[in-house]
Amino acid sequence: MKIIKVLVILLFCSILQTYSQPAKVQVGAESTQEYFPLLKGKRIAVMSNHTGMVGDEHLVDLLVKNKYNVVAIFSPEHGFRGNADAGEHVSSSVDQKTGVPIRSLYDGDAGKPSKESMDLFDIMIIDIQDVGLRFYTYYITMAKLMDACAEYNKKMIILDRPNPNGHYVDGPILDMKYKSGVGWLPIPVVHGMTLGELALMINGEGWLPESRICDVTVVKCKNYTHQTLYQLPIAPSPNLPDMKAIYLYPSTCLFEATPVSLGRGTSFPFEVYGHPNMKGYTFSFTPRSIEGAKNPPQLNRLCYGVDLRNVPDEEIFKNGFDLSYVIDAYRNLNLDDHFFRPFFEKLVGVDYIRKMIIDGKSAQEIKEMWKGDVAKFKEQRAPYLLYEE
């Protein structure tokens, strides 16, 4: 009798444990039953890179294995294999494994394919891991492809993936006079949306040229909400090697528009900052020429500064888009307006942040300036959200 009781208790505990564990997030590409039927008899183009994995198999390999007619691969910044420098020219080529031609969207044609490229296919599939920042360029590539598909009457299927920074919204909305290759839409620095949600918003808000509408189907993630802290299984680009870098990226990316190194050319990019002339810091690092950072700022120079690798994730989340790192380096180096390059406004998206830093305002005082932007955007994006907040 005792043995039966013990077995019942063990069984109950096992069931309880099963139900208490959160279900594993399924990316859109795993729901093949939702999009395979749409591909029959169609010529297919895929916009993806090394992150477009379905389990342990790349989407392109999966489609070819299942005898679908993949006629072209379109590759974004960093290339199809994801190992090119930020902004590096990437040539078109052929995928050695499948023989499918690769057409680079980062080889000088401003990311929008030619008529000749568009005539190749009937359906465009997008499957790529984004990190949810206005200056992370994959969403811009998607928006340009949406425009091309709308113009040439092609269908688009977005296989959605979670946003690892999807649990909050922060930063000013882009002033469109600063629209550039690192800021394309009137959205905050941290927009908190998946690419699928953003595509629906692009259509719904009429953000494509001439208010064109793209025929988009989004295959949703399963078991995902905006509060899911999704751990990326693959680094999305060469200089975002781990989750700490991805969480710090919204704030430390601003150093791209200053003389300060953010660790490109080290094994911890976006997780540190420093400069040869920074005073009062014992931590140091030396940027080297490596794959994905062939000519990093302060190359081969000993930089003194701050190591952010031990900052708890909870603190990063609480501070959100945090100007305190840039303010610290600005005050330390004492370069006045020579600290900032014109690129700074393209990254932050507004003109008041530089002025307020020079005027000695704190990170918190400046943050107050965009509170209204965040509230406005959250209301504006609400109709397009596919996942619970």
Distances (CA, A) of 367 to 253, 259, 352: 17, 23, 11
Domain carrying residue 293: 243-370
Using CA atoms in the order 369, 374, 375, 381, what is the torsion angle rounded to 10 degrees?
160
Our count of domains for the chain comes to 2
Domain final residue pick, 231, 259, 274: 231
Residues 206 and 320 in one domain: no
Looking at the domain assignment, is residue 20 inside a domain?
no
Give the separation between CA 335 and CA 145, rounded to whole angstroms: 41
Looking at the domain assignment, is residue 389 inside a domain?
no
- Residue 173, phi-psi category: left (phi > 0), alpha (psi -120 to 50), beta (remainder): beta
Q: Is 219 exposed, middle or buried (0-12, 13-18, 19+ CB in 10 A)?
A: buried
Residues 189 and 258 in one domain: no
pLDDT tens string, the chain, 389 residues long: the values are 556 554 555 555 454 444 446 799 999 999 999 999 999 999 999 999 999 999 999 999 999 999 999 999 998 765 576 444 444 445 567 888 888 999 887 654 456 788 999 999 999 999 999 999 999 999 999 999 999 999 999 999 999 999 999 999 999 999 999 999 999 999 999 999 999 999 999 999 999 999 999 999 999 999 999 999 999 999 998 899 999 999 999 999 999 999 999 999 999 999 999 999 999 999 999 999 998 899 999 999 999 999 999 999 999 999 999 999 999 999 999 998 899 999 999 999 999 999 999 999 999 999 999 999 999 999 999 999 999 99
Residues 276 and 199 in one domain: no
Residues 272 and 221 in one domain: no
Residues 168 and 63 in one domain: yes
Q: Which two tokens stand for residue 78?
A: 């960093």
Contact 45, 100 (CB under 8 A): no
Residues 339 and 222 in one domain: no
Contact 46, 247 (CB under 8 A): no
CB environment 36-74: b (16+ within 10 A), e (fewer): eeebeeebbbbbbbbbbbbeeebbbbbbbeeebebebbb
What's residue 291's pLDDT?
87
What's residue 11's pLDDT?
56
Looking at the domain assignment, is residue 208 inside a domain?
yes
Looking at the domain assignment, is residue 316 inside a domain?
yes
What's residue 22's pLDDT?
73
Residues 205 and 251 in one domain: no
Residues 127 and 248 in one domain: no
Looking at the domain assignment, is residue 97 inside a domain?
yes
Residues 161 and 287 in one domain: no
What element of type H or E holds 157?
strand 155-159
| Antiparallel, parallel or unpaired: β 69-75 and 101-104 | parallel
Give the separation between CA 129 and CA 82, rounded to whole angstroms: 11
Give the separation between CA 78 and CA 226, rounded to whole angstroms: 27
Residues 136 and 157 in one domain: yes
Distances (CA, A) of 264 to 112, 236, 287, 288, 329: 29, 15, 6, 8, 17
Write the CATH number for 254: 3.90.1150
Write the CATH number for 68: 3.40.50.12170
First to last CA, the chain: 48
Q: Is the pTM of this model over 0.85?
A: yes
What's residue 103's pLDDT?
87
